[in-house]
A and B are shown apart, each in its own frame.
Chain A
Amino acid sequence: MPFVRLLIVACILLIAAWMPPARSETTRQAMPETMDMLRHAIATQTVEGKNQVPVFAQYLAGKLESAGFSKSDIEIIPVEHTAALVVHYRGSDSKLKPILISGHMDVVAANPKDWQRDPFKLIEENGYLYGRGVADMKTNIITLVETFMRLKREGFVPKREMILVFSGDEETDMASTRELAKRYHDAEFLLNADAGGGTLDAEGKPVLFEIQAAEKSYADFLLTVTSPGGHSSEPNPSHNAIYKLAKALDAVAAHQFPVQHNEITLASLKALGTHESGALAEAMRTFAAHPDDARAAAVISADPAYVGQIRTTCVATMLDGGHALNALPQRADANINCRIFPGVSVASVKATLAKVIDNPAVSITVRPPPPVESPASPLRPDVMKAVSATIHERFPGVDVVPGMSSGATDSMHFRNAGVPCFGVSPNFAKANDTFAHGLNEKLPAKEVPAALDYWHSLLTRVTR
């Protein structure tokens, strides 16, 4: 090959090596498309019973296809009246197990009459976005889709395959989640955009960022007592279903499940202990260092917000008994809602309840759907590092700590299927500021560009 030709080839190669950055998009450039999609997403009423999830999935699929994803890499899986959406972003090394990125397309119901604004219309006001799903979790669905489109347009090729796994009934039956976990359990790990996240203090300063690495199992138990009934003018206090159930509930109220811990809760309590002050913070620090310290456990247990971090908790949430004002009850029911520490079986919690109630006349059954027991996900330094680096781009120095949530997210099905899951939602919010599931759900508007930055940075980091 003559030198000139070689030079030309070398130049071409050099230019080619520079090429990809030439097409890179800034977040600012990506914003209009993102907001447009988010507006459409909020307007699509993906609540149970309206059968709009498949429509929404089709919309997202169309967008992805137009950005360059091949039809064969986009899959819509119908599950009953809803659907799951799966998008493969093929990697260069097909020997590596893929990374899953999960979210859900459905939202909880919203009654427009109760809202100050139309819940199914994206409205920006006073620095907040309002609408059903802005916080839980259509903003992250859209920013993930946008990031996939953006990366694809930029010509980015990950080393490891990424797969978006979006469920369609996370808020209700999780049938689509179960289907996804069944099909995509052979993954390196899963990043869940619907768990974890950052906390802001009252002044809006970032406090810490939590990576959800474990969640408690969720189980509802039905307590039922029956009695012969009869006319209320002939009361028999020793055969009254309501009185018997009341006694059982007294016992449940008084019972405390044993103190437990794992690497995640210890790390999380340690971090929380350094951010808070006072007796509770001290107890958290003590517990993190000496998990057997009974006094520290007692202080933590006395706080409803933290007792679940060190114990299985069960609480009565519903009652129903009797059929007429003037008839003795023939039946009384109570629902006991339990949040079970990872590693503890549902069966053992049921056995404990039976022992505590100590009355064979009180029947105890596990309510459907069958609870899903999910192990804690072993912490991975690579994930911790990639997430920390990404968070620090926005908030340098903020603490990134693992955490255990009270459940129940899509992750439990994947953890149950053997996939380590990490909840890494990019959103920072003040405590109780988003009203997810409630009225007037909102999200600070600046979280949208922040999420675009975050996903772009995090996904390229973890798949390199």
Chain B
Amino acid sequence: MSTHRTLLLGSLILALGCSPLLAAETTAQAMPEYMDMLNHTISVETVKGKEQVPTLARYFADKLEAAGFARSDIETIPVGRTVALVVRYRGSGKGKPFIVHGHMDVVPANASGWKDHEPFKLVKDGPYYYGRGVADMKDQTVALVETFMRLKREGFVPRRDIILTLTGDEETDEFTAEEVAKRYHDAEFALDADGWSGEYDANLKPVMFGVVAAEKGYADFLITATSPGGHSSEPNPDNAIYKLSAAMQKIAAHKFPVQYNGITLASFKAMSARMQGPLAEALRRFAEHPGDAKAAAVISANPAYVGQIRTTCVATEFSSGHARNALPEKATANVNCRIFPGCTVAAVQQQLQRAVADPAIEVSVQDPAPVLGPISYPVLPQVMAAVTQAVRQRFPGIEVIPVMIPASSDSRHFRNHGVPTYGVSPAFAKPGDVHAHGYNERILASELPASLDFWHELLPALAK
């Protein structure tokens, strides 16, 4: 082979290697298409009962096909009256695929409670976009679809398959998540875009970015007391309401044992470094001497932190009686528990029964049967590194730490099927500012292009 030819070949290879970049789009270029899709997506009322998830899935499928995805790589999986959408971005290598995950459904919205805007319309007002699902989580679902389209148009070819899984009932039954997790359990890991990762302080200064590596288990227990009933003019001390009241007080006083794991210790250490006062001191001490009783007491006294070191159970509803002038025959309460990873539903049930200390009071698990999941810790190093780099492109130096959240998401279905799963959402927010599930759900407009940047950076980095 002559030098000349070698040179020519080298140039050719170089040109080939560069060719994707030739079609590269900037985020600014991608934004109109993204906003157009988000606008449409918000208007499709994907709440339970309206059966609009299949419609939205078809819309995404058409968009992806138009961007160059083969029809055979786009699959709609019907589950009951909803669907999951799975899109395979074919890679060149044989490495295990990884999953990026989101959901298409939203919680219902009662229009009369929304202040100035219709819930199913994307509206810009001040620094915010408003609309049901704009923060939970159509912003990210559409960002993922847009990023897949953009990368495909750019000619990007990952080294391994990237599987986009979008579920259709995360807010209700989670049947689609279970189905998808069962089918794609051989993925190396999953990124769940339905996380609450980035936190701003009140002045919109970024505070931290959490990689959700664990979530607490969710279970509702029904506490039931019964009594003979009868006419209220003949009050019998054997009164279901009084028995339930006594049980409530015992549950109020009961404390589940202190627990910890690598995630909580790491997040305490990181959080305490930028906090001050007794709580910061307690978090620091707890991180150094896990289980320190005095530190645990301080942390337990704070409602926002107690769940990080214990299973918590709290009475959320109770009801009894069928007439004002009749003695109750039955009194029931719902006790909502957030179960520390590693603890079982049965163990919590047993502890509640013991706390109530009255064999006549029934403690049962409410339907649907709770699904608990393991933790995904330690976080895979390449995931931690890639996420950190993607976040720091926007906010240099920001702390990226593994966290455990009290809420439950689709993630635990993947974790239960052996797929380490990390919640990473690029949209930053002030605590309590987005009103997810509530009235006037909103997101800072700045987070939308930032999300496109993030995914466009992160997916290729992980697919190398």
Contact = CB atoms under 8 A, between A and B. Distances in A.
B321 A242 contact: no
A317 B321 contact: yes
B185 interface: no
B237 interface: yes
A315 interface: yes
Interface stretch (B38-46, B135-143, B205-213, B245-253): B245-253
Contacts of B315: 240, 242-243, 321-322, 329
Given A315-B327, A316-B241, A317-B241, A328 B248 contact: no
A250 B246 contact: yes
B231 interface: yes
Interface in B393-410: 406-407
Interface string B227-239: 0001111111101
B92 interface: no
B304 interface: yes
Nearest to B220: A325
Residue among A233, A237, A308, A321 facing the most chain B CB atoms (10 A cut-off):
A233
Residue among B218, B312, B318, B334 facing the most chain A CB atoms (10 A cut-off):
B318
Interface residues of B, number: 50
Interface in A95-110: none
Interface in A166-182: none
A407 to B, nearest CB: 7
Contacts of B246: 246, 250
Given A308-B234, A317-B321, A253 B245 contact: yes
B224 to A, nearest CB: 13
A307 interface: yes
B312 A233 contact: yes
B442 interface: no
B307 interface: yes
Interface in A316-352: 316-329, 332, 334-335, 337, 339
A5 to B, nearest CB: 70
A155 interface: no
Contact of B336 (A253, A314, A326): A326
Interface in A226-284: 230-237, 240, 242-243, 245-247, 249-250, 253
A406 interface: yes
Given A317-B241, A319-B244, A337-B324, A235 B314 contact: yes
Given A234-B303, A253-B242, A322-B334, A407 B233 contact: yes
A304 interface: yes
A319 B320 contact: yes
A315 B227 CA distance: 13
B234 A406 contact: yes
A243 B248 contact: yes
A325 B331 contact: no
Contacts of A325: 220, 316-317, 334, 336, 366
Given A317-B328, A325-B220, 7 more contacts: A237-B252, A242-B316, A242-B318, A314-B235, A318-B241, A324-B316, A325-B334
20 contacts: A230-B303, A235-B313, A247-B245, A247-B249, A250-B245, A253-B245, A308-B235, A315-B327, A317-B241, A317-B326, A317-B327, A318-B322, A318-B323, A322-B315, A322-B317, A324-B316, A324-B317, A325-B316, A328-B316, A339-B232
Q: Which 5 pairs from chain A and chain B are nearest by CB?
A: A318-B321, A406-B233, A322-B317, A233-B406, A235-B314
